[in-house]
Structures are given as structure tokens and as C-alpha cells.
Amino acid sequence: MAAAQAFVEGIGTDHRGRSIIHILAFDDQSLEAVHDYIQWLFPLPERSRFNVEAPVLTRADVEAIVASPPAQHNLLAAADRLRQFYESNSHWLTPVDHNHLRITRIIRSLRILVGVEEALAFHARIEELVAAAGNPVAPEALDHWRRAARERL
């Protein structure tokens, strides 16, 4: 079983020995300050520029994760936890912030691994938060999020 699948199914750990359950229990301060978990929670089919230890999805990985009820459950739990984080914090509501890259990754990974409905729902909630804050996020980030919601593997 590939590392990404084992991790999102809750039976494996990331490069630092953390399980998905451990990471989902992070408080908001840790979610903000720790930078090497997001690539494990929301894997993609390309290498991360920021975490060379993160898994890179193959087509077989995608198929296995899509077909795995535990992985689907945990990916939805991860999306819910990050949604709560963005709802509870406003520091990311600026023209440029590292969380904008995280949001793009979350939307893309959900689109690829869970489906268009969950990706669009996450994206819609983020856009609601941006609008409620007076639209402070740069248009480039908004465009990245929109493209991520439509992207296919």
C-alpha cells in the first residue's frame, strides 16, 4: 500500500511519524505554524515544492483512495477541520498569505480524491468568508481556487 493511501486511511504515518488523527487534533495555532502536514492531508499528483517528503499520487493511488471508505471518511474530516480553521481565523484574509496556497491544494485534492461536490462546497465556503471580509484576497488567488475546483487528474 502506498504511503499516501496508508496515511489517509489512518493506518500509516507521515514523514514525521504523525497519523492523520494526530494532525486533525492540532489546535488552530499548530495548523497555522506547522507547514509540513498539508501535503499529507491533501495529497496531489505532483511533487510539493515545500515538502519533498510528501507523497506524490499516482493514478493507482488515486483509484485506491477513491475506492477506500476509510480514506474518504478521513479526507472529509480533514476538509471539515480546515474549513473550521478558516472560519475561526481571519489572518489569512489578506491580499497574499501562505494559506492561499493551502486552500488551492485542499480544493484540488478534494476534487481529485473525493469529488467535485466536496471541492465546490469547500471552495464556496472559502469564497463566502472572503466576501464577508470585504474581498481582501488578491484576484490571482481567487482564480487559482476557481481553476482548482474544475481541474481533473
List pLDDT tens digits, range 4-48: 999 999 999 999 999 999 999 999 999 999 999 999 999 999 999
Whose cell is 484576497? That residue is 137
Amino acid at 65: I
Query: Chain-wide mean pLDDT for the chain?
Result: 96
User: Residue 112 is placed in which grid cell?
Assistant: 481529485
- Cβ contact 106:82 at 8 Å: yes
47: left (phi over 0), alpha (psi -120 to 50) or beta: beta
**Domain map of the chain by residue range?**
3-150
* Spatial distance between the Cα atoms of 107 and 112, rounded to a whole number of angstroms: 9
Q: pTM for the complete prediction?
A: 0.96
* Spatial distance between the Cα atoms of 133 and 8, rounded to a whole number of angstroms: 33
> Given pLDDT bands bounded at 50, 70 and 90, which one contains residue 152?
low
* Spatial distance between the Cα atoms of 51 and 97, rounded to a whole number of angstroms: 18
Please determine, for residue 50, whether its predicted confidence score (pLDDT) is greater than 90.
no
pLDDT at residue 153, rounded to an integer: 58
